[in-house]
């Protein structure tokens, strides 16, 4: 049923990311070392995922290292350029540990809003193929397994977004 695929997709996309985002929020104020350790874990997890799963699978499917290398470098270039554009558009992102919401009419508030919308857009684009996969697997009855695995995969992403 369509609602079951939608439910599993929401669980995978929102549940894992939210669980990851709550971790840095719950340890904030307990020390920079713990937050740094969480960020190091997240970076290591994502690097391991790329080098141990994504790149070998890409090499197996294309059979040519040059295609994999070219696409990997193109993706890294796009992320690098997006970072430059975001820095120029949003200015330097500063943390305010007071917990107060910035005034959305001020320059700082507009920067915060722009960064938030940029993260939201990136997360939506990232979750589209995952939702399509869960929808495709819903007929076979294994959508729940894919949703759980995707939710686990999204926990480090939530940590990175919340701690940054």
Six-digit token string for 47: 């690097």
Give the predicted TM-score (pTM) of the model. 0.63
Domain positions in the chain: 2-163
Give 102-116 pLDDT, tens digit per residue: 566 666 677 777 777
Give 17-69 pLDDT, tens digit per residue: 888 888 888 877 777 787 788 778 888 888 888 888 888 888 888 888 888 88
Six-digit token string for 155: 């926990």
HSE toward the beta carbon, residue 12, CA cutoff 13 A: 26
Q: pLDDT band for 147, please (50, 70, 90 cuts).
A: confident
Query: What residues contact residue 119 under an 8 Å CB cut-off, 6+ apart?
Result: 161
Give 76-103 pLDDT, tens digit per residue: 898 889 878 877 766 654 555 555 555 6
Contact 14, 161 (CB under 8 A): no
Q: Is the pLDDT of residue 74 over 90?
A: yes
What's residue 73's pLDDT?
Answer: 92
Report the alpha-carbon distance of residue 50 to residue 145 in Å, rounded: 21
Q: pLDDT band for 164, please (50, 70, 90 cuts).
A: low
What's residue 54's pLDDT?
Answer: 82
Q: Is the pLDDT of residue 143 over 80?
A: yes
């Amino acid at each position: 049923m369509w609602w079951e695929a939608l439910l599993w997709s929401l669980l995978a996309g929102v549940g894992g990311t939210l669980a990851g985002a709550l971790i840095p929020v719950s340890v904030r104020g307990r020390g920079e070392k713990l937050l740094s350790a969480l960020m190091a874990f997240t970076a290591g997890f994502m690097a391991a995922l790329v080098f141990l799963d994504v790149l070998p699978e890409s090499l197996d499917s294309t059979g040519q290292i040059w295609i994999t290398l070219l696409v990997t470098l193109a993706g890294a270039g796009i992320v690098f350029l997006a970072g430059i554009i975001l820095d120029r558009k949003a200015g330097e992102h500063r943390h305010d540990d007071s917990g107060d919401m910035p005034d959305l009419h001020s320059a700082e508030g507009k920067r915060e809003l722009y960064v938030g919308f940029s993260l939201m857009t990136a997360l939506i684009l990232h979750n589209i193929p995952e939702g399509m996969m869960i929808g495709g697997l819903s007929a076979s009855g294994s959508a729940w397994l894919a949703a759980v695995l995707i939710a686990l995969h999204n926990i480090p992403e939530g940590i990175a977004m919340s701690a940054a």
